[in-house]
A = this chain, B = another copy of it.
């Protein structure tokens, strides 16, 4: 940081910059964490050094334009994303790219799902990529219910859909489903191997 003793009575560039820089760092860390990445992983994607990102996230360093751009590209967002006010609702004109493998991950006993675009809040739709593990018949969870509507597309493998009050339905690769998600529902891989699915839900009010 530059010295704070300046004779001239003009605005000091360093004044008040520290808190802003810390906020930028927090935003950067938030974007990284939302994707479940370590410093090393972001370093790999952006081409920067781990130490540089570490210092930037904690506001200990003032990144140059070039490094900020590298980070934006590594993360897959526009530069403006770093500076949009927190609480980032779905802003008019939003445009986000999710390269394969960029998501927030959740894992249950027989289901791994990864939310796409975790950084966008208040989306009208919530797209998720999921892997249904090959299962024991014992392993079923309870029906899931939530207000709204749901779309399912089978990307790989085959899926059995159990829906409350319906006979089980078998969906093969390329098949899809659209239904009221307040009806209890449950997915399972139909084969002995894992299945890959895409699920899109309507946003749940007040939900996570």
Contacts and interface: CB of A to CB of B under 8 A. Distances in A.
A62 B66 contact: yes
B83 A4 contact: no
Nearest to A20: B69
Interface stretch (A5-13, A104-112, A133-141): A5-13
A79 interface: yes
Nearest to A9: B47
A143 interface: no
A208 interface: no
A24 B200 contact: no
Given A127-B200, A198-B198, A21 B66 contact: yes
A163 B202 CA distance: 24
B124 A149 contact: yes
Q: How many A residues touch the partner, as a band?
A: 35 or more
A182 interface: yes
Interface string A144-186: 0000110101010000000101100101111111111011000
Copies in the complex: 2
Q: Chain A contact residues: over half helix, strand or loop, or mixed?
A: mixed
Contacts of A29: none
Contact of A151 (B41, B92, B93, B127): B127
Contacts of A63: 64-65
Contacts of A4: 41, 44
Given A41-B4, A172-B100, A17 B66 contact: yes
Contacts of A99: 175
A58 interface: no
Nearest to A196: B174
Interface string A54-69: 0000000011111111
Contacts of A125: 125, 149, 151, 178, 200, 202
Question: What 7 A-B pairs are tightest by C-beta distance, nearest first?
Answer: A100-B174, A11-B47, A79-B83, A62-B64, A62-B66, A80-B83, A13-B70
